Chain A
Amino acid sequence: MANVFRGKRFSSACGAPAVLLLVLALLLPILTALGGCDSQGEKAAPERGTPGVTDQAISLGSSLALSGHASYLGTQTLRGALSYLKHINDQGGVWGRRIELTAYDDSYDPPRCLANTQKLIVEDRVFALFCYVGTPTTVKILPLVEDARIPLLGMFTGANALRAPFNRYVINIRASYYQETAAAVRHLVKDLGLTRIAVFYQYDAYGFDGLTGTELALKEFGLEPVARGFYVRGTMDVEDGLSKIQKSGAEAVVMIGTYDPCARFIQLAAERRFQPIFHTVSFVGAEELARRLGDSSGQVVVMSQVVPPFEGPDARQLLGSAEEYVHLLAKYFPDDKPNSVGLEGYINARILVEGLKLAGRNLTREGFISAIESIRDYTLGPGANVSFGPDNHQGMERVYFTRLVDGRFVLVSNWQEVLGALDEVRAKTQAGTQAGTQVGTQEGRARP
């Protein structure tokens, strides 16, 4: 150290050694700091080979509701996807590799989903997670996805938690609930001129998400839900919610739930002569809801969809590649009727395979994600494009609207029809009231 101190000065009277001294004195801490930096934070991920990829096969994992009150959703999603995957496998797979999908049943139970996913990651060592169903379940496994850095693609849920904060490993294809409810509210307020809108939601993360979305959408118009009613997941206890909403005199009810409780809600409302326009999100499950409601309710039920609907005079034009789904489903699962849930699964599989193709033979998880992010305007049908980007993991944005007509949900071509339908229903009810056999319910008609 003494050698360093050979005096000279920084300015006027002296020269180099003081400058040298100063520079050294400053460098020392910096160097130490740099040296010390390594001990900070990040654990370097240990280098392993890509799991789930062998020379012949790519293995994927899924945990979804294959039994229980949401079994339809899970089963159809899975079959929709599988029909395409089998098709691809029959054509030689992707880059010579077959795609194998391991699916576990979690009955829409988040802990079970968690356990299944951990098993898939740790024991089955799958390459990616695919086709998850449900908000609480999928949200529950997000920590696992983060920790294991495993891609999660194609979830049958529009939950906001999957979209924000942005997660590199989570790839959403369907539009979010926020987008669905925003579109719905827009139509309700602008096209139908309704302002008294209530929300009926499942009492869990999914329901909260939808509620928040609706509230946000209403806020745009300076409105608020006139009532909020809920039911507990897994139950059919809709009466309290219904009473609350009916008392508020709502003109429209946005429903975020599953098909059984929603069907019951609508039927009970009809019995109690409460006839707002019911709007459900796609997750409810169009076919099952339609099946349960039948023709008898006489209510106006509108459902938003995130995939092009099948039914309806104009629907055909929108189908595009949905035709292939119909064809493949008939081939591999001939007992199942084509439905929008399955179509979603199919679309998930389409995107998955596209990503695998783009990722090339040298398949890694990171490479796969980068490949997905490179997809731009992948066409599924007229007006149905899928685009991703390094900041955009939301593939589809479009929301379609369908109405329950004759036991089927058909595409809404224009909203005047819906208005007309509403008037019809109210007229019928009045006639029924005039018949004087029913206890009057509040006629909360609000004509535009």
Chain B
Amino acid sequence: MSFVRDSLRRYGSLSLKNKIFGSILAVVLLISVAIAFVARYILVSSLTAELEMRGSAIAHSIAERGGTFMLDKDYPQLLSLIFDEARLHERKHLISYIFITDQGGEVLAHTMTRPFPSELRLANQVPQDKGRSLRLVTVEQESIHDIAVPIKEGLYRIGTVHVGLSKSHIDSLISKLRLTFLGFISAIICIIFFLSNRITQYITRPISKLTRISDELSRGNFDITLDFQEEDLNWKPSECPAYVNTEMPCWHFDQSARLAATHRTCKSCVFYRKRQGDEVVQLGDSFRNMVWSIKLYRRRLRESEEKYRSLFDSGPDPVFVVDCENFHIADANPRAQELYGYEKEELLGMSYLALGPENRSDCLITYEGKGGGTGCLYHPKVLHYKKGNKPFYVNVHACPISYKGRHAIIIAVTDITEMIEKDAQVIQAGKMKSLGEMSAGIAHELNQPLNAIKMGSEFLALMEEQGRTASPEQFHQVVVEISAQVDRAAEIINTLRAFGRKAEMLKERIDVNKPIGSVLTIVRRQFELDNIRFNLDLGEGLPPVLAQDNRLQQVFFNLLTNARDAINEASLPSEMDARRSIGIRTGAEGGGVTVDISDTGVGIPDEVRDKIFEPFFTTKETGQGMGLGLAITYGIVRDYGGQVRIDSEPGQGTTLHLFFPQAL
């Protein structure tokens, strides 16, 4: 069994040429051998039958003619007769011997030139009732067909004729046949050898060529020429409109097969050249078409890839591809490298969280579909870190993608540092303006402590002039008071300074009461001089919010300023019984801190309510305000994740509700 399997396996690994040659040869040899045997069998049997027939004829003829001689006992004549029969021309080759016996079995005459072999005498005896007997006898290592025919005189048998037929000429015929067959087989082997070589060459050469070409193709070498047919040498790829311009469709593979057949443009195209031929030719044609198709497709693909690669590489904004499993940066475009200050090699594989720690949960969110309408997340004003841990602000867009089969997000980052700076500048401008407005008030505020200080120092000077010394209690009181007033002036100045300072970048945990207090320090006196009362309801133990103190001051200042303006529109400061008050209430509610600033001003009509937060929207006359205050306020509150809500009743007043989420 294993031998069979082994041979089958060996057979399978032969080259096609040898397979075909071997198979055909085996079959032909088998058939030839079978034919040879069949032919030999047929030949031998029919020749032997022929031989026996002739021998019988001879024997009968001798029996007829020899009878008289036997009766006359004319043995020389008998001998002459059988010799004539035996040796006449061609009979020499056929007849080995003839001998005649009498009824007693004694040999009367024979044609041998050697002593008669005694065993031959009785070797083949004709039974009484038969007319003939045929037997194969062996005479001196030779096989002879002995045909015995009785010699009759009437019914009485007087003797027997034995004709011995040599098989030699049958054997020589068989040898000749064998030789012919073998020569024939040799010729067949030769012919088959060359024929099968030819045929398999015809098959294997193109196939080998195709194999070579496809090996080249698989290595990506598409430049090899598909030149197995002569006609193709004249056709260049640049003749194909779809190749040159990848936007153009190729009629062959962009259309469905049915249409392509009916709309045959590009008549010279290789695709349509189908030659009449056998399977090998058609394989060649199809292969060529396939290769051309691949070339075309690759070209398209390459162009597309280049297009998108250039988009990625030369995009104006940094783009990162971050693997969701390990938060490593899978890819970054050159702009990212520029912006963040890292080289590409440093970026790849680096953890994205080193650049943007707040985006940790982005992967999860996007993949749970909790992103915006496009499945993407948008983070405005996030703090990212350049190389050297330098922070800067960016807007981040994160979208889920599948990158190399894994979950990933593609993060587009917009550097808003400039914008923030502009913002800051605007705010600063606003602040400066506010400060300008406040200058009168500030001057007033400062005057008081200065006056107080002056009074005190004048008192002391007066004392000095009068040569009196103040009593220690008076002296102490005056000095303390001067010190306190200096503190107060300093505090005002500090507050101012703090206010004027550019805001810090970093958010801190702030108790909202503090900036409120700071702002009140600045503006309270002034407002009170304007006959505006403050109703304060500041909560105790408020949870901190993540914000910047300076900015919050800005917010509160704006709101208070707006409240005063609103009140002044409603009534004049001189009106003693007008309701002129601002209420500030802070409290901890809903997971955060609420700040309500209400005024008894003119109120905000409905149609305006939505617009007031728009930048450059103002109800004041031109030159009075830029309309940025509330916009900035809104921006700052939103920055901190907070909300602004307006309650307003025209003629009654307005309340602005601010909510800041609690710092975690």
A25-B189 contact, Cβ under 8 Å, with A2-B7, A144-B113: yes
Q: What's the Cα separation between A102 and B440 when bound, in Å?
A: 187
Residue B190 at the chain A interface, CB threshold 8 Å: yes
The answer to whether A111 touches B76 (Cβ under 8 A) is yes
Task: Note all chain B residues with C-beta closer than 8 A to A112.
Answer: 76
Residue B80 at the chain A interface, CB threshold 8 Å: yes
Task: Note all chain B residues with C-beta closer than 8 A to A5.
Answer: 11, 14, 18, 21-22
The answer to whether B197 touches A140 (Cβ under 8 A) is no
Task: Note all chain A residues with C-beta closer than 8 A to B182.
Answer: 29-30, 32-33
The minimal Cβ–Cβ distance linking B32 to chain A, given in whole angstroms, is 10
Interface residues of B in 412-440 (CB under 8 A from A): none
Interface residues of B in 1-19 (CB under 8 A from A): 7, 10-11, 14-15, 17-18
Q: What's the Cα separation between A39 and B142 when bound, in Å?
A: 11
The minimal Cβ–Cβ distance linking B335 to chain A, given in whole angstroms, is 58
**Chain A 205-218 near chain B by CB (<8 Å), digits 1 or 0:** 00000000000000
Q: What's the Cα separation between A39 and B40 when bound, in Å?
A: 15
Residue B523 at the chain A interface, CB threshold 8 Å: no
Task: Note all chain B residues with C-beta closer than 8 A to A33.
Answer: 178-179, 182-183
The minimal Cβ–Cβ distance linking B172 to chain A, given in whole angstroms, is 5
Task: Note all chain B residues with C-beta closer than 8 A to A140.
Answer: 80, 83
Residue A439 at the chain B interface, CB threshold 8 Å: no
A147-B113 contact, Cβ under 8 Å, with A22-B193, A40-B172, A111-B79: yes
The answer to whether B15 touches A7 (Cβ under 8 A) is yes
The answer to whether B114 touches A148 (Cβ under 8 A) is yes
Q: What's the Cα separation between A2 and B4 when bound, in Å?
A: 11
Residue A121 at the chain B interface, CB threshold 8 Å: yes
Chain A's closest residue to B176 (CB) is: A40
Residue B175 at the chain A interface, CB threshold 8 Å: yes
Interface residues of B in 172-229 (CB under 8 A from A): 172, 174-176, 178-179, 182-183, 185-186, 189-190, 193, 197
The answer to whether B179 touches A36 (Cβ under 8 A) is yes
Q: What's the Cα separation between A115 and B111 when bound, in Å?
A: 10
Task: Note all chain A residues with C-beta closer than 8 A to B112.
Answer: 122, 147
The answer to whether A148 touches B168 (Cβ under 8 A) is no
The answer to whether B79 touches A7 (Cβ under 8 A) is no
Chain B's closest residue to A29 (CB) is: B182
Residue B140 at the chain A interface, CB threshold 8 Å: yes
Residue B77 at the chain A interface, CB threshold 8 Å: yes
Residue A114 at the chain B interface, CB threshold 8 Å: yes
Residue B92 at the chain A interface, CB threshold 8 Å: yes
Interface residues of A in 14-49 (CB under 8 A from B): 18, 22, 25-26, 29-30, 32-33, 36-37, 39-41, 43, 46
Task: Note all chain A residues with C-beta closer than 8 A to B111.
Answer: 143, 147
The answer to whether B17 touches A25 (Cβ under 8 A) is no
Residue B397 at the chain A interface, CB threshold 8 Å: no
A29-B186 contact, Cβ under 8 Å, with A43-B142, A111-B76: yes
Task: Note all chain A residues with C-beta closer than 8 A to B74.
Answer: 111
The answer to whether A7 touches B142 (Cβ under 8 A) is no
Partner of B80, one of A1, A10, A37, A114: A114
Residue A261 at the chain B interface, CB threshold 8 Å: no
Q: What's the Cα separation between A7 and B193 when bound, in Å?
A: 12
The answer to whether A111 touches B186 (Cβ under 8 A) is no
Chain A's closest residue to B180 (CB) is: A33
Chain B's closest residue to A12 (CB) is: B201
Q: What's the Cα separation between A140 and B178 when bound, in Å?
A: 38
**A10, A22, A30, A147 interface centre (most CB from chain B within 10 Å):** A147
Task: Note all chain A residues with C-beta closer than 8 A to B7.
Answer: 2
Q: What's the Cα separation between A22 and B190 when bound, in Å?
A: 7
**Chain B 300-314 near chain A by CB (<8 Å), digits 1 or 0:** 000000000000000
The answer to whether B113 touches A121 (Cβ under 8 A) is yes
**Chain A 115-130 near chain B by CB (<8 Å), digits 1 or 0:** 1001001110000000
Task: Note all chain A residues with C-beta closer than 8 A to B142.
Answer: 43
Task: Note all chain A residues with C-beta closer than 8 A to B75.
Answer: 115
The answer to whether A115 touches B178 (Cβ under 8 A) is no
The answer to whether A10 touches B178 (Cβ under 8 A) is no
Residue A110 at the chain B interface, CB threshold 8 Å: yes
The answer to whether A37 touches B76 (Cβ under 8 A) is no
Residue A354 at the chain B interface, CB threshold 8 Å: no
Task: Note all chain B residues with C-beta closer than 8 A to A10.
Answer: 193, 197
Q: What's the Cα separation between A112 and B78 when bound, in Å?
A: 10
The answer to whether B190 touches A26 (Cβ under 8 A) is yes
Chain B's closest residue to A35 (CB) is: B178
The answer to whether A25 touches B115 (Cβ under 8 A) is no
**Chain B 109-152 near chain A by CB (<8 Å), digits 1 or 0:** 10111111000000000000000000000001010000000000
The answer to whether A40 touches B171 (Cβ under 8 A) is yes
The minimal Cβ–Cβ distance linking A369 to chain B, given in whole angstroms, is 17
How many residues on B have C-beta within 8 angstroms of the other chain's C-beta atoms?
A: 47
The minimal Cβ–Cβ distance linking B124 to chain A, given in whole angstroms, is 20
Chain B's closest residue to A122 (CB) is: B115
Residue A9 at the chain B interface, CB threshold 8 Å: yes
**B92, B174, B186 interface centre (most CB from chain A within 10 Å):** B186
Q: What's the Cα separation between A118 and B92 when bound, in Å?
A: 17
A7-B14 contact, Cβ under 8 Å, with A115-B75, A144-B113: yes
Q: What's the Cα separation between A110 and B21 when bound, in Å?
A: 67
Chain B's closest residue to A140 (CB) is: B80
Residue A109 at the chain B interface, CB threshold 8 Å: yes
Partner of B183, one of A18, A29, A109: A29
Chain A's closest residue to B11 (CB) is: A2
Task: Note all chain A residues with C-beta closer than 8 A to B18.
Answer: 5-7
Chain B's closest residue to A42 (CB) is: B168
Task: Note all chain B residues with C-beta closer than 8 A to A123.
Answer: 115
A111-B80 contact, Cβ under 8 Å, with A40-B171, A143-B86: yes
**A6, A18, A36 interface centre (most CB from chain B within 10 Å):** A36
Task: Note all chain B residues with C-beta closer than 8 A to A39.
Answer: 171, 174-175
**Chain B 163-174 near chain A by CB (<8 Å), digits 1 or 0:** 000001001101
Q: What's the Cα separation between A268 and B11 when bound, in Å?
A: 98
Task: Note all chain A residues with C-beta closer than 8 A to B183.
Answer: 29, 33
Q: What's the Cα separation between A7 and B182 when bound, in Å?
A: 24
Task: Note all chain B residues with C-beta closer than 8 A to A111.
Answer: 74, 76-80
Q: What's the Cα separation between A9 and B25 when bound, in Å?
A: 15
The answer to whether A118 touches B79 (Cβ under 8 A) is yes
**Chain A 315-329 near chain B by CB (<8 Å), digits 1 or 0:** 000000000000000
Residue B87 at the chain A interface, CB threshold 8 Å: yes
Chain A's closest residue to B3 (CB) is: A2
The answer to whether B17 touches A114 (Cβ under 8 A) is no
A9-B178 contact, Cβ under 8 Å, with A2-B7, A2-B11: no
The minimal Cβ–Cβ distance linking A169 to chain B, given in whole angstroms, is 12
Task: Note all chain B residues with C-beta closer than 8 A to A7.
Answer: 14-15, 17-18, 21
Task: Note all chain A residues with C-beta closer than 8 A to B92.
Answer: 143, 146
The minimal Cβ–Cβ distance linking A234 to chain B, given in whole angstroms, is 15
Q: What's the Cα separation between A155 and B129 when bound, in Å?
A: 49
Interface residues of A in 113-171 (CB under 8 A from B): 114-115, 118, 121-123, 140, 143-144, 146-148, 150
**B77, B78, B83, B111 interface centre (most CB from chain A within 10 Å):** B83
The answer to whether A32 touches B178 (Cβ under 8 A) is yes
The minimal Cβ–Cβ distance linking A275 to chain B, given in whole angstroms, is 41
**B14, B17, B113 interface centre (most CB from chain A within 10 Å):** B113
The minimal Cβ–Cβ distance linking A232 to chain B, given in whole angstroms, is 17
Task: Note all chain B residues with C-beta closer than 8 A to A121.
Answer: 113
The answer to whether A37 touches B114 (Cβ under 8 A) is no
4 interchain residue pairs of minimum CB distance: A7-B18, A29-B182, A148-B113, A111-B80
New contact pairs (12) apart from A37-B175, A122-B114, CB-CB < 8 Å:
A7-B15, A22-B193, A25-B25, A32-B178, A40-B171, A40-B176, A112-B76, A115-B79, A115-B80, A143-B111, A147-B111, A148-B113
- 9 A-B residue pairings within 8 Å (CB atoms): A7-B21, A9-B17, A33-B182, A36-B178, A40-B176, A109-B76, A111-B79, A114-B79, A148-B113
User: Which of A's residues lie within 8 Å of B, judged by CB?
Assistant: 1-2, 5-7, 9-10, 18, 22, 25-26, 29-30, 32-33, 36-37, 39-41, 43, 46, 109-112, 114-115, 118, 121-123, 140, 143-144, 146-148, 150
